[in-house]
A and B are shown apart, each in its own frame.
Chain A
Amino acid sequence: KAGVTQTPRYLIKTRGQQVTLSCSPISGHRSVSWYQQTPGQGLQFLFEYFSETQRNKGNFPGRFSGRQFSNSRSEMNVSTLELGDSALYLCASSFTSGALGNEQFFGPGTRLTVL
């Protein structure tokens, strides 16, 4: 079974631009969560999508948004990029949501650099 895939793997943008990152979960998994990893803040939860609905949201500004499609693939969008948005963005999929202790499987991440 193929793992979680994320595209693109690397991205360079300039301040003020917007960016869209994509995540394809493991086949059969319906929940997709997004995390931001930076040296200063560590790993932080962005949001979770399940059955095309946002189920949880972390403490991030409205510039960060996401969506999930009927095939469970998810995209996250960051508008009006700031230098501080430079990070590794990790996507994780799990079989379901709303159950105890769902194991999350992580993708390789997208490295976003904002210049």
Chain B
Amino acid sequence: AQTVTQSQPEMSVQEAETVTLSCTYDTSENNYYLFWYKQPPSRQMILVIRQEAYKQQNATENRFSVNFQKAAKSFSLKISDSQLGDTAMYFCAAIEGINNDMRFGAGTRLTVKP
């Protein structure tokens, strides 16, 4: 089964600056998907971005982009032009193959400062 590790419990960034959140994973499967979810204080989990393992091109969604290093099993999230509304817990997650058993990292609490 896959494991996901987030080594940064907390991070902060100034509004309008760029921040990168780190994530490493381990899996023995060839087919897997990686996700970044955001959980604001409201507790609603929101999908930020997803990456298919078979795609070499890094996924991007507006101000959010990932750096997917398959050989290193690394999947970092870059947030550009940080906004106050980006303040939240960010979870890295993985799904192997055809299972819906999503494994999450411990999360990184991001604070955007004005």
Contact = CB atoms under 8 A, between A and B. Distances in A.
Interface of A: 31, 33, 35, 42-45, 48, 50, 55-56, 58, 88, 90, 92, 94, 97-109, 111
Contact of B103 (A45, A100, A101, A109): A45
B56 interface: no
B107 A42 contact: yes
Interface residues of B, number: 25
Contacts of A94: 100
B35 to A, nearest CB: 8
Contact of A48 (B43, B46, B91, B100): B100
Contacts, number: 62
B4 to A, nearest CB: 10
A42 B104 CA distance: 8
Nearest to B91: A43
B50 A101 contact: yes
A104 B44 contact: no
B2 to A, nearest CB: 11
B72 interface: no
Nearest to A47: B101
Contacts of A104: 47, 100, 102
A24 B103 CA distance: 22
B71 interface: no
